[in-house]
Amino acid sequence: MNLNWKLIILVSLFTLIISVIFGIFLPELPFNITALIGGVIAGYLMDGNYTDGMFSGGISAGISGIIYFTVINSLIRPLVMTSMVYQTPFLIVTILFFYFIFGVLGGLLGFAVRERNLIIQIMS
């Protein structure tokens, strides 16, 4: 497995920025969309095979999910987070699990899109 940690950190920051923007301006949108977008970007940019794309998407989405739901979301919505998340730590684990899973799916999708583009370039 060949993971590019600079790429993972950059995609994590990009996913975190998308999560903050969607959290402020589109709060009714499911939070998993941002993890999927970040996973697609990480899987598309990662060199290697599909497992590298999956792991890079999952790790980058997991890192951004940890930062977003423990720090930034409590700053955006302090009353909601104080009453909801800190009373139920199981909710944080569940949200991070879904962030990781959607990041893995996005990484696989991004790798598939990149490989399809490479196949089309080779055949033409």
Q: What is the pLDDT of residues 11-36, one digit of tens each?
A: 999 999 998 888 778 877 777 888 99
Q: Where are the domains of the chain?
A: 5-123
State pLDDT tens for residues 40-64.
999 999 888 888 889 999 999 999 9
Name the DSSP letter for residue 4.
-
- The backbone torsions φ and ψ at residue 87, rounded to the nearest 5 degrees and listed phi first, read -85, -25
Would you state the pLDDT for residue 59? Answer: 92
The pLDDT of residue 120 is above 80: no
pLDDT in tens, 85-99: 555 677 778 778 888
- Helix/strand/coil (H, E, C) string of 36-65? HHHHHHHHHHCCCCHHHHHHHHHHHHHHHH
Taking the complete model, does pTM exceed 0.95, yes or no? Answer: no
Q: Which residue has the higher pLDDT, 7 or 73?
A: 7
